[in-house]
Structure 1
């Protein structure tokens, strides 16, 4: 599975337009691919478009990390892993099975 997330230079999870780094956790290759976030300080929809182009199958988010436009772009293309208790890339990697267990196909709030 290819799982997208956005974080800052200290690896703290951020909303789609507030993190400098767009990453893909590639479980099959057992790597974390890191990219410059094209939507940083521009727009969540720009980041979401990049996530889709990178072939992600899911995105890790917290409440408030998406907006209607980015959600509409991704709905039907991604699963959403809505988390609350993990704050960094390290937390995510160490608890990936728990994070994956939270995957849903639709969100009621962003």
Structure 2
């Protein structure tokens, strides 16, 4: 049974990622105090289709900047969504990943 409270926390973080930036499943998990839960963050991204307000799941990639969740979007939708925000993607990998990386532990620090 998924932990919907955890999913809601994930969605709250993902909704704060600015356009043109990306983060990783692991960075979200670490920010939420559950470093070993990056796979659960991925499950949350798979389940966010009907979440309101919408969750920009296309901005979440793996730790190397690979679009590992792209098949959940169908075709090249994830890549197109990122490129429409100015994120260059070549062969399913975000270019300039380090410069575009949005770390919630830094960006959301109080």
Which of the pair has more CA radius of gyration?
2
| TM value normalised by structure 2 | 0.32
Structure with bigger strand share is 1
Which structure ranks higher in relative contact order (CA pairs < 8 Å, sequence separation ≥ 6)? 2
| TM value normalised by structure 1 | 0.32
Structure with bigger helix share is 2
